[in-house]
A and B are shown apart, each in its own frame.
Chain A
Amino acid sequence: MAALFEAQEVTKQFSNHRALDRVSIEVPENSIFGLLGPNGAGKTTLIRIINQITAPDNGQLFFQSEKLQPKHIHQIGYLPEERGLYKKMEVGEQALYLAQLKGLSKSDAQKRLKFWFEKFEIQPWWNKKVEELSKGMQQKVQFIVTVIHEPELIIFDEPFSGFDPINVNLLKDEILAIKERGATIIFSTHNMASVEELCDQIVLIDNSKKILEGSVKAIKQEYKSHTFELAYTEAKKDIKTLLGDDFEIISNSANEESQLAKIKLLNGKDQNDLLSLILPFASIISFNEILPTMNDIFISKVKGNIKE
């Protein structure tokens, strides 16, 4: 897959700290790309550089293999984390204004807005002032003006904050639909569950440096701890004695019907070795690998980074 957007060795220095230190990212076309990192890591700076709000001190930026330049602004949509609307302005008028700033003609903007307002069921609010809207509804308006010009690249910075679970789902569906349509999405969030759900690729930035990148699947594989969860009954022997030194039993608990053990493989043993040891002495109900969550990986990587 070709890269839609590429940053090479981007460095940004503010007067007293370095926000980005030779960060390179490659956002594949038509993917959802997770931009992760703790607060103050440099994500917002990178996003602002992509949006050409600020310029990097060093490094190259490419959009569709072309050097990033002002004309690309119309092909990028941006929903900032710090977002708001003019409170005293009417909703429709404001949406029109923002859509026109994105380069749409007035009639075009009107047509598209009508479609989106109906889709999100906020048509009756067209003539209301923004301050009369609930926060969730304001967020919907902001979402609409982010995607209204059908950009090739859309950047969402914490898009779900302030939404109730129903609207979070609505938004997730929209984001997936936008990807379906062919757009590429950069998705910055602290919500790791939604990262696992939505992202194809991620990059983790901490302390202004990139510390991890790759596809979600590959990263999970890479960071797995070879731990398995085993549910069984009718054990004829204690599994501790059964397994010996090649396996570490992290936990073993019993409930009414079965027993549940978490077992880590040691000394290069694989899961088949484990199963063949247990199989003769117990009846196995379920057996599966425990993969680390993105949350675990995030925390361990960022903590490890501090130690280094």
Chain B
Amino acid sequence: MSKIPLIIKREYLTRVKKKSFLIMTILGPILMAALFIVPIYVAQLKGDVKTIGIIDETGLFLDVFKNTDNLLFIPIDEDLETAKQNIVKNDLYAILHIPGTELSVPETGVLYSDKQPNIVVKDHVQNVIRKKVEALKLDASGVDPEILNSIKTKINLLTIKINKGGEEESSSTELSMAVGFISGLIIYFFIFMYGAQVMRGVIEEKTNRIVEIIVSSVKPFQLMMGKIIGVAMVGLTQFALWVIFTVIIVSGFLSIFSADVTSYQSSQLKLAEGNIPQTEALKSGGANEAAIAIFESIQSINFIVIIGAFVFFFIGGYLLYGAFFAAIGSAVDSETDTQQFMLPLTAPLILSIVLAQFIMVNPDGPVAFWLSIFPLTSPVIMMIRIPFGVPYFDLFLSMSLLILGFLGATWLAAKIYRTGILMYGKKISYKELWKWIKY
């Protein structure tokens, strides 16, 4: 009977029974859910209302400062010096002083505050003044503001992919980016977290000196594979639990707050549209069109391919790196000695994430192609490319190379591993590792 299942079972159970696993399983979804929930929740909160006093010596601006949810503008009759002294007494957040000027159009203003005024307030004030000044200048040069407004147009560029059959599919670049990047990121973290667990497990066996007892009953290769697979199953379990819990928490939250959320969304929509005055008909038509486009592009992404590829690259990438992590663990005596080997191993992985943005901009370029073929970078890079549509040939090539890479890595790692686990108290150099491989 093969002993690998026994080893897998032990690796799996000891880890799943740990308190840290339980804590991570609970905390993970809470953190993930918080990513969705907190922005919505924060948006629900009304910030405290800030009152800004205006001393307008030009008399041009008083009526353009409209009160908003968070900002209250009141004119002040006092002169600047007294107003500055009374800023606390009058419960003002800031005083806006627009000095009188010889020019027909004023161009400066000063915001006084007893603390650093926040950037939102500053931008708002600046915007209001700028718009008014622009209007004044247009007026002075005789341009009708109505003409200008009719020129301003919001462009909603639909990107439409034409597939081989000549059919059209609408696609959304943003959505593809998000799907690709998030799945790439998950793979990246998974490899790092669980790869390191494999490594720590090997070091533990080595420093505990249990390894010699075990390799007298099983082959080192069986022990290594058992550990890699066992840890992978722990990772998959945790990942599955996270997805389930996150969905439960988020959907639970949404069902409670759903009413508020829709009102929030619609107010957001109004806000967005409010900036650009358009005819009523155009507005509603544009919104609908955009919504349909997004919906269509969600459908256009081939989720079966994406999910299938995700599972494949998720597991394949982990197995490839897991073998290397196990080899590193076997070559050292303690975790502090792993640095010199960790850096070159993890460099391709880190590079993948660093280059993610570049790949998203140019998902079909040569860099993207080669990195999505090379096994050490393909798990992350290919996931970034896939939502943009990848030729099946590329996908097939990448997957085959990943399998070959995994087999090669395991073969290499097993050679290092079987020598390394029985080697104590020796600082291992690359030269030494090379000897083990050749041996």
Binding site for B on A (CB under 8 A): 15, 48, 51, 53-54, 73-74, 76, 78-80, 82-89, 97-98, 100-103, 142, 145
Contacts and interface: CB of A to CB of B under 8 A. Distances in A.
B210 A83 contact: yes
A53 B439 contact: no
A103 B212 CA distance: 17
Contacts of A79: 213
B435 interface: yes
Closest A-B pairs by Cβ, 4 of them: A84-B209, A84-B208, A80-B212, A78-B216
Given A51-B216, A145-B213, A101 B3 contact: yes
Contact of A73 (B208, B217, B439): B217
B210 A85 contact: yes
Interface of B: 1, 3, 6-7, 10, 14, 18, 204-205, 208-210, 212-218, 220, 422, 424, 435, 439
Contacts of B7: 101
A83 B6 contact: no
A98 B6 CA distance: 10
B14 A82 contact: no
19 contacts: A15-B439, A51-B216, A53-B212, A53-B220, A53-B422, A80-B209, A80-B212, A80-B216, A82-B209, A82-B212, A82-B424, A83-B212, A84-B208, A85-B213, A86-B205, A87-B208, A89-B14, A98-B213, A103-B1
Given A15-B439, A100-B6, A101-B6, A142 B14 contact: no
A286 B216 CA distance: 52
A15 B18 CA distance: 42
Contacts, number: 64
Contacts of A85: 208, 210, 213
Given A48-B422, A76-B216, A101-B218, A86 B6 contact: no
Nearest to B13: A93
Contacts of B205: 86
A79 B216 CA distance: 9
Given A83-B210, A86-B208, A86-B210, A53 B215 contact: yes
Given A86-B14, A89-B14, A53 B213 contact: no
A73 B214 CA distance: 11
A228 B214 CA distance: 50
Contacts of B435: 15
A74 B213 CA distance: 13
Given A48-B422, A53-B422, A97-B6, A83 B209 contact: yes
A48 B418 CA distance: 12
A292 to B, nearest CB: 34
B201 to A, nearest CB: 10
Contacts of B18: 88
A78 to B, nearest CB: 4
A97 B216 contact: no
A53 B7 CA distance: 18
Nearest to B222: A101
Given A15-B439, A86-B14, A89-B14, A80 B213 contact: yes
A142 B10 CA distance: 18
B213 A142 contact: yes
A132 B413 CA distance: 34
Contacts of A15: 435, 439
Contacts of B215: 51, 53
Contacts of B217: 73-74, 98, 101-103
Contacts of B216: 51, 53, 73, 76, 78, 80
B408 to A, nearest CB: 23
Nearest to A87: B208
A98 B214 CA distance: 7
A79 B204 CA distance: 19
B10 A97 contact: yes
A87 B206 CA distance: 12
A126 to B, nearest CB: 17
A54 B6 CA distance: 23
Nearest to A53: B215
Contacts of A102: 217
Contacts of B424: 82
A102 B18 CA distance: 26
Nearest to A54: B422
B209 A101 contact: no
Nearest to B10: A97
Contacts of B214: 98, 101
